Amino acid sequence: MWYAKMYFSEGKEIFQYDAAGTQGVPSVQKELPFLESLLSFQELDCSELTPMLQYITDNWSKLVAEGDMEARTNAMMKLGALASVHIYFQLLYVHCYDRQVTMSIKNDRGNLEDQQMLDELRRLPELLPLYQKQIQRFFDLVLDVDTAGREPQLQASKNYTYDNPNDSGLFKFHPIPLSFEPVEYQKCSPVLYSASISDMIDYSLRSCVERGITVRRCKNCGRYFPQTGRVSAEYCERPVPKGQQRCREIGALKQWTKKQSDDPVFKAYRKEYKKRFAWIKAGRITDEEFYAWSEKAREEKKKCDRGIITLEEFKQWLAESK
């Protein structure tokens, strides 16, 4: 048996899988921020993946039809390369690995599963971009706080009749293999037992609606992010390459700077501060005198911020202080 599962826990999504596809127990655990797998899937360039998928399908079909061992190696190597592109493909790899191991055991059920696997692989080049479009439509109509509003439940119920979308371009939900089990200390949660890409998308979208989580395009990087905290959040906290600042930190700094530059008390303080800082270079005052002044100035600024003294009084203090 093969083994791959996915579940949500607090602000994270967790994938567990049997790396070799042979042990029937999870040996690898991957944690991503909530919704990261779906959002990064949305950003994939599917046309780049098509040649890889076609190569895999051609070899897989040879393997199923003729038991060709070279075709098996070719398919698994390429699936391994694909697995590094996205976590969805990692789980596809695990599933395929299991299929090719059990393929030698021939029976009706095995034959059917081989056929299903082949069909799934064959259809992926056409399905992946279709899923992306359906997810985008789901964002536009249900989850995006700027186009659909703050109530995913309300929007979802408006846009579906039973489990049929009213809009033909919208994501179609299906029954998915969900179980329920303890996932962490003293806590049980639904767990998806499937490596099918559409099941993982399905589970992610319905979880957003159930938990009332909206998405928005980040004001800094333009990518979508889940609003797991404040619904007014404008900057994302999505992973960035090492050494780079996250958008939320950049946003916080921008807002602070803007707030400060609009603040007349800060402006008055800043102007005097710069003037006196230049005096050090000119030899008019010493470092110590400057720092002693700036300490007193900050105290006065605080008084002004709290309304103990007026802006005029603060300005007068700045002009006359030594």
Give the phi and the psi of residue 306 in degrees, each rounded to 5. Answer: -90, 0
Using CB under 5 A as the binding rule, whether residue 215 contacts Zn ion is answered as no
Span interacting with Zn ion, options 62-70, 93-101, 176-184, 235-243, rule CB under 5 A: 235-243
- Whether the CB-CB separation of 127 and 50 falls below 8 Å is answered with no
Using CB under 5 A as the binding rule, whether residue 236 contacts Zn ion is answered as yes
Q: Please, what is the Cα angle at 262 between 260 and 268, to 5 degrees?
A: 75
Burial class (CB in 10 A: 0-12, 13-18, 19+), 118: middle
Using CB under 5 A as the binding rule, whether residue 221 contacts Zn ion is answered as yes
Instruction: Name the one residue in this structure whose structure tokens are 């186009």.
Output: 147
Report the nearest approach of Zn ion to the CB of residue 246 (Å). 7
Please identify, using beta-carbon distances, which residue of 2 and 139 lies nearer to Zn ion.
Answer: 139
Span interacting with Zn ion, options 123-131, 232-240, 267-275, 282-290, rule CB under 5 A: 232-240
Please identify, using beta-carbon distances, which residue of 73 and 244 lies nearer to Zn ion.
Answer: 244
| Strand boundaries in the chain, DSSP class E | 4-9, 12-17, 28-33, 160-161, 164-165, 178-184, 187-192, 215-217, 224-226
Span interacting with Zn ion, options 40-48, 63-71, 165-173, 243-251, rule CB under 5 A: 243-251
Report the nearest approach of Zn ion to the CB of residue 252 (Å). 12
Using CB under 5 A as the binding rule, whether residue 218 contacts Zn ion is answered as yes
- Whether the CB-CB separation of 61 and 16 falls below 8 Å is answered with no
Please identify, using beta-carbon distances, which residue of 75 and 247 lies nearer to Zn ion.
Answer: 247
**Residue 204: half-sphere exposure toward Cβ, Cα within 13 Å:** 32
Q: Which of 63, 143, 247, 268 binds Zn ion (CB under 5 A)?
A: 247
Q: Which of 137, 220, 279, 303 binds Zn ion (CB under 5 A)?
A: 220
Please identify, using beta-carbon distances, which residue of 161 and 232 lies nearer to Zn ion.
Answer: 232
C-alpha dihedral sign at 248, 254, 260, 263 = negative
Which residues are at the interface with Zn ion (CB under 5 A)? 218, 220-221, 236, 247
